Each structure stands twice: as C-alpha cells, then as structure tokens.
Structure 1
Amino acid sequence: MAGARESLLDAAGAALARRPWSAVRMVEVAAAAGVSRQTLYNEFGGKDGLARALVRRAADGYLAGVERALAGGGGDWERLTAVAEWTAAAAQQDALVRALLTGCWSERLPAPPRGPAPV
C-alpha cells in the first residue's frame, strides 16, 4: 500500500496546487492516483487524515533536507549557511513548508495539525 499512499499524496498535492484545500475532492484525488475512493478512505480515514499526511510529508521532506545540509562538508558556518539556503528554497517551493515555518496558514491550505499526530 506504500505505492498507493504515495500516489494519493502526490495527487492531493497536485490538486492543492491548483485549488484551495476546501475545493479538493476525495473522489478527484482517488481518480488521479488511479485507486478507488475506498482505498483512499482505508489509507487516510478521510479528508482530515489526508491533510495531516500531506502536511507530515512536507515536514518530513523539509527536515530531510536540513539533515542533508547539516551532513555536508565544511565547518559550522558552511553547514549553517547550507541549512539557511535550503530553508529559503524549500519555503519558496512549497506552500505547506512555508506555512509550517511561519505559522501563516491561508484558507487555500489544509488546516494546520492540532495536537500530537497519531503514530
């Protein structure tokens, strides 16, 4: 199911790039991912679960980039510079990363996560 999960997250991200989250429909996401709507609901439980997973994936991708920047060669200054450059680029490219970093959530995005995420 990992393939279906990633396909669904990709489809949800593509839909979010085209329209506000409130206008994204589960049936569209499932069709774009090439899976049934039931598969989507089995994987995420509903639109809120899909939103949480989409935000989590954006956060995980950002943090992986930070880890890569910190693991790069050079001294502390070079690694700090690499993290700053990565942060600026990631925030520019991804509205979810930008919202996570700034706390500025718009109506176009899924609602920010509340409380601890389910494990």
Structure 2
Amino acid sequence: MPTAREGLLDAAFTALRSRPWAGVRMVDVAASAGVSRQTLYNEFGSKEGLAQALVRREVDGYLAGVERTLSGAGRSGADAAGRLLALVAWTLRAARGNPLVRAALTGCWGEQLPAPARHPPARGGPPGVRRTERDAPVETPAELVDKVRDGVLRALAEQLPGAPAERRRVGEAVTRLTLSYVVAPAGGEDVERMIRGLLPVSGPSRTAAGR
C-alpha cells in the first residue's frame, strides 16, 4: 500500500497529465490522494516542494531503470552492444512516456511543467516539515549524461574494449548518442547500426527504437 507521500506524488503526476503545472492546485492534489491538505503541506511544505519531489522521483525512476537495463537482468549472456541497445530502448520509452524525464534529459521544461530548482526548496508551512534525501536538487542534463555514462562504465567494465580512457570515450559517446535520439528520434536499424559501430563486439541483433 503506498504511503501518503507516494499517493500525493501519484496524484500530482496524474493532475499534470491533464493540465499545466500552474493549474494544479494543492487542495485538489490532497483530495485526489485522499488525505488532508495539512498532510500535503506536512510532507512537502509548499507547491515548490511538491514539484521538486515529483521531478526528483521521476528522474530517480529513470536512473533506476538505467541500472536495471545495464545489469542485463533477464538477458543472460547479453553482450555489451546488446545491453547498450537495451539502454537506448529504455531511455526512449522513458522519455516518450514521461514528460518530466524528457525535460530532465533535454533541459526543455516549457511552461507546462514544474521546472526543478537547483537547490533544495524553501520550506513553508509548519515547523517539522519532513526533509529527506528525496528532496535533493535534480541534476542538469549534463549531470545526467555523466551519471548514465558512469553507469555504463561500471556495468560493462569487463565487456567494453580498450584502455580506461578508451572505455570512457565509448561510454560518453554511447550516452550522448542515446540522448540525441530523445531529441530527434531515428529508426531502429539506424540506432543499432550506430551503437554497434562504436563497439567491436558481436552479439545477437536487436532493434532498440519503438520497444
């Protein structure tokens, strides 16, 4: 059963699907989650705090998916290229299905979305409002590139070819190529060809885009 915090974040995300963030009212979020408005303010302190926590949750969900994908869970024996193609597929799915993830990856927040602060939000409301690691500032697109690249290097250290500097170059290139497809999608065969062109490894053919 979700906690009050998760229920409120779910309600805020659902509201954002149908209206711009400026039109999302705290009282409506609380009512949709089945809690009092006081509970909402106890959790987040302000609408700014709610926005920060919502974007933080969605970005953390994307990064957790990156880790799962690169771990090769459910794909025993997957080669480096296969795992990287799966990373492309996950990133494209996440960006297409979640406007907050897409905005975090591209830096294009627009007027419809709650752009995150680059510092912990000021806490309004009563004393004792909860502050947790989940309120941490959201990464810039460049910082997200670094996190995904580092995840690639950790997960595929034994499979990526070359010296450490070369592996870092490959990890950086794959990550930036992946994010470029968020901005300008391409056909699955093009994605696969370019990823495999970066890695002198062989493996089963996969098509990433559209999955």
TM range (shorter): over 0.9
Aligned length: 118
**In the TM superposition, what is the alpha-carbon distance from 1:113 to its structure 2 partner?**
2.5
Q: Over residues 52-103 of structure 1, what are the superposed CA-to-partner deviations in whole Å (9 max), with x where a residue is unaligned?
A: 0100110011011101110113111111111111000000000000000001
Distance 1:11 1:47 in 2: 13
Is 2:104 aligned against 1:100? yes
- When normalised by structure 1's length, the TM-score is 0.94
Residue 79 in structure 1 maps to residue 78 in structure 2? no
Distance in 2 (alpha carbons) for counterparts of 1:8 and 1:75: 40
Which amino acid in the other structure matches residue 76 of structure 1?
A
% same residue: 64
Which residue does the alignment assign to 1:3?
3
| Structure in which a larger fraction of residues adopt helix | 1
The aligned amino acid for 1:18 is S
TM-aligned CA deviation for residue 116 of structure 1: 5.8
Matched, 1:114 2:87: no
Separation (CA, whole Å) in 2 of partners of 1:116 and 1:38: 21
1:77–1:116 Cα change, 3 Å: farther
TM-score when normalising by structure 2: 0.54
Seen in structure 2, the aligned counterparts of structure 1 residues 106 and 40 have a Cα distance that, compared at 3 Å, is: same
Specify every segment of 5 or more residues in structure 1 that has no aligned partner in the other structure, as ranges.
none
